[in-house]
Structure 1
Amino acid sequence: MKRTSMEGVACPVARSLDVIGDWWSMLIVRDAQLGLRRFGEFQKSLGVAKNILSQRLRHLVAHGILEVQPASDGSAWQEYVLTAKGHSLFPILVALGEWGREHCFQEGEARTELRDKAHGLPLKPLEVRAADGRLLSPQDTRVEQVPPER
């Protein structure tokens, strides 16, 4: 099935999913956030076919999520390094993890949990807040068309 491009759509969620919406891309970004940098490391971690991994890495590089750099050890290999744009996906990964822990596991089933490195404590749940600090739910928000930025 051919994917439809969301490039011209005014919805930022649709455009974001156009760039990072497939599961392999988000898992690559997750692994890059954890420090993986080499093709072989991603392939071993994910168990994904090499042709699919190559395609997803090229896509993430083309969209500025990752950049290719010479290997840090001076070898002939290349490494895939998160850009600032890629690092800014961290809260999305945290939100997906929170949702998954709450809705995708049976009681008592083993799971991973993101913890604060300095203190070893679990993270406080993410919250959506208004500019004045109020906690918001979906019922407290609306979508509006805004004029283009100049």
Structure 2
Amino acid sequence: MGAIHLEGALADRDAWRATRCSIGKAMEVIGTRSAMLIMREAYYGTTRFDDFASRVGITEAVASARLRELADTGLLERSPYREPGQRTRHEYLLTEMGRDLLPAVLALMQWGDKYLQDGSGGPLSLVENGTGDPVRVEVRGSSGSALELEDLRVRVARPRDPDEVGDAERQRR
């Protein structure tokens, strides 16, 4: 059974804790089912509050809370609009941060299609707009080659400034 190779100070897993884990931080932002499904709908072009609530199948209170959280975090931005004779409302538009989450969402879709659809594949097919060719999310190195779990290595990142040292290095000392 393979695993990612841990390098340097990370090799002794008992000597460090993942206290600043980016996966943990990402899950704090997007870790609810309703948040992820709201993002799915934003990728499908949904922008209006009522549409998010009805398409995701959540109450208005939950939709309001999740949309506020996603906007406060920077995944969506609120943009005012006003229909004739109506009060000003807000629509929710994807930001660069929200667009950058797309590969993770598509990877979850791909995984769900493979493992959670009783062998039938998913109900939707993701294809390239111009050609209709299937699209897959993969882990690739900078050379372009596809990588498996065993092909990966994790190391302590270079500190951003001289005073900052990665948690693994600090705990090792």
TM-score where L is the length of structure 1: 0.84
Name which of 100, 104, 128 aligns with 1:116: 128
Where does residue 72 of structure 2 map in the other structure? 62
Where does residue 47 of structure 1 map in the other structure? 57
Q: Unaligned 5+ residue runs, structure 1?
A: 1-7
Distance 2:149 2:120 in 1: 30
Provide the aligned C-alpha RMSD in A.
2.1
Distance 2:36 2:149 in 1: 24
Contact 2:114 2:121 in 1 (8 A): no
Contact 1:128 1:135 in 2 (8 A): yes
Q: How does 1:8-27 map to 2 (within 5 A)?
A: 9-27=19-37
Distance 2:83 2:151 in 1: 51
Where does residue 105 of structure 2 map in the other structure? 93
Distance 1:48 1:104 in 2: 22
Where does residue 42 of structure 2 map in the other structure? 32
Distance 1:34 1:48 in 2: 17
Distance 2:121 2:112 in 1: 12
Contact 1:39 1:79 in 2 (8 A): yes
TM-score where L is the length of structure 2: 0.73
Q: Unaligned 5+ residue runs, structure 2?
A: 1-17, 162-173
Greater relative contact order (Cα < 8 A, sep 6+): 2
Larger Rg: 2
Contact 1:30 1:93 in 2 (8 A): yes
Name which of 146, 151, 163 aligns with 1:135: 146
Matched, 1:146 2:146: no
**Identity among equivalent pairs (%):** 32
CA change 1:40–1:72 in 2 (3 A) is: same
Aligned residue identity for 1:41: D
Distance 1:110 1:144 in 2: 35
Contact 1:9 1:15 in 2 (8 A): no
Aligned residue identity for 2:31: G
Contact 1:66 1:81 in 2 (8 A): yes
**Which contiguous aligned blocks of 4+ residues in structure 1 show a shift greater than 4 angstroms?**
72-75
Helix, strand or coil: the match of 1:146?
A: coil
